[in-house]
Chain A
């Protein structure tokens, strides 16, 4: 610690050069933070998916509907503890860019299935009593300034009213929060019985059908057997099913975007390689410029090890400072949540990635400093003093 002022003084020797190097490290770690947040937004659903939940969808495609009657048949299968369903509503609030998910659901089984959605009991009771009632996540409520008691018009791109209008009006009866930080609190859920009643009034061809089912299994170890049993139950029917763990289902959605982990790693790899060269060059130059001074330090008694440690400390301080600043800025920038208006509802920088980033910055410091530090360590004193 008592050498810290010397380390700091050396970093401040060429302020502009240090500032530019620092800036490049800050930008690299800011990018790291943003990419981590995007990755979390796209893949976070996989990590929070329930291990005891299965998704049952149409074997052909997720956009094909399944009969509502399947619910009762699945409930009778051994190992099935609970069944609920959702249907994609595809609604727009005021403007197409105001994207968020809406689904008609069965309130009781839905809330029992997804305990990560926290709804006050009074609001749950109000939902059960209001046919046109809807609950909305905190993020979307705050985004549009909705509060309990508001009537909200949503235009569906898929489902029409009996009169042909696509405008649906819901009464906001509850606002739910997420149990975990990465619980998605952007969707709006409304009652399936109201939804199906409207479809029935309109003699819609798809009444009595739902988008997909979620099953809770009694024993997660038996999830595979239950999935097989479900698919076997509906084999050779007009709507065969494909049952898979919730995590795999979410992953399949994510994979439509691409291999997020590979894309992120590739971008960061290129960025960090460049930073390695920039910071490494700064450190090498800095050591070359003060070979005489390093000779003086050795002459007055600094050991080779102390000189090595001092140069390494210098590069580590630079990298940690840049990394810390970049990650801090990234954290600040991502703390406001989804910047896309609803496409990345779980956009945030996880604390795990903050720590990984700090680890990276330390590694960057060591890697960029090790060669100049070895060069400084190997200096012959008498030779170095001649270069003062």
Chain B
């Protein structure tokens, strides 16, 4: 596994985080004094109703947004204080993203999509190709490498998305509702894949989901409601 942890094996430490969005004159408190630690190698499911702040928390951990208050440490780095430029390089090194709607570039083939994060590394073309082939093989899509996203099924597109997320061997894989747009069968295949990445390759995964069936695959589940975490669902 790539990356470093705190001395206690904690990969992600979110402490006292608050996130407030301003909409006109109204302040919306999405996260309130939130604390969360994720040990390296854990597959964490983050559940909660719509608008509970799941994706916001994922964005803060992935360095896509900054908290209004509190600190976010990932792999020993305090990410909430990094500049935009350093944050971009940090994301390239440490974070793999998997999105609900796959978010592939429609103008690029599957292999070119997977190659995108590698363009930011000093790898040669041949080395990039090797990494892309390995990632596509891992998600079982070697045969569809030359296909454009529009010619792939939803499940296949999501597998390309996962291959893109893991191709740089990131410290942490962040999945935002990765099965939310898929049928049950395709969703199960994606969950199998994530589980295998966690169990066989030791990848730390944080997955946002609505679906109890999906969260059951994780090694730990936490619930977010009205901006606060709990270990059991709140009715």
Contacts and interface: CB of A to CB of B under 8 A. Distances in A.
Interface of A: 2-3, 5-6, 9-10, 12-13, 292-293, 296-306, 380-382, 385, 388
Nearest to A377: B84
A181 to B, nearest CB: 44
B106 A13 contact: yes
Interface string B127-141: 000000000000000
Contacts of A293: 103, 105
Contacts of B120: 300-302, 306
- Of all A-B residue pairs in the complex, the 7 with the closest CB atoms, nearest first, are A301-B92, A9-B107, A303-B88, A382-B65, A381-B64, A296-B103, A301-B91
Interface stretch (B68-76, B111-119, B208-216): B111-119
Contacts of A300: 91-92, 97, 116-117, 120, 164
A381 B85 CA distance: 12
A54 B7 CA distance: 92
B103 A385 contact: yes
Nearest to B56: A382
Q: Taking each of A5, A12, A381, which has the highest tally of chain B beta carbons within 10 Å of its own beta carbon? A: A381
Interface string B50-65: 0000001001001011
B145 interface: no
A60 B97 CA distance: 85
A365 B16 CA distance: 48
Interface string B63-102: 0110000000000000000001100110111000101010
A380 B117 CA distance: 19
Contacts of A292: 103
Contacts of B56: 382
Contacts of B105: 6, 9, 293, 296
Contact of B84 (A2, A3, A304): A304
Contacts of A304: 84-85, 88
20 contacts: A2-B125, A6-B108, A9-B108, A10-B107, A12-B107, A292-B103, A296-B103, A298-B88, A299-B97, A300-B91, A301-B93, A302-B92, A303-B84, A303-B88, A303-B89, A304-B85, A305-B85, A385-B64, A385-B99, A388-B101
B177 to A, nearest CB: 12
Given A5-B112, A300-B117, A381-B65, 18 more contacts: A2-B125, A9-B105, A9-B108, A9-B112, A293-B105, A299-B64, A300-B97, A300-B116, A302-B92, A303-B85, A303-B88, A304-B84, A304-B85, A381-B64, A382-B56, A388-B99, A388-B101, A388-B103
A301 B107 contact: no
Contacts of A10: 107
Nearest to A386: B55
Contacts of B91: 299-301
Contacts of A9: 105, 107-108, 112
A304 B88 CA distance: 8
B99 A296 contact: yes
B141 to A, nearest CB: 18
Interface in B137-154: none
Contacts of A380: 65
B37 to A, nearest CB: 23
Given A296-B99, A382-B64, A13 B88 contact: no
A299 B170 CA distance: 13
B59 A382 contact: yes
Nearest to A11: B107
Interface in B26-64: 56, 59, 62, 64
A292 B99 CA distance: 12
A301 B117 contact: yes
Interface string B208-235: 0000000000000000000000000000
Contacts of B93: 301
B58 to A, nearest CB: 10
B181 to A, nearest CB: 12
Contacts of B117: 300-301
Contacts of B59: 381-382
Nearest to B148: A9
A377 to B, nearest CB: 10
Contact of B62 (A2, A3, A299, A302): A299
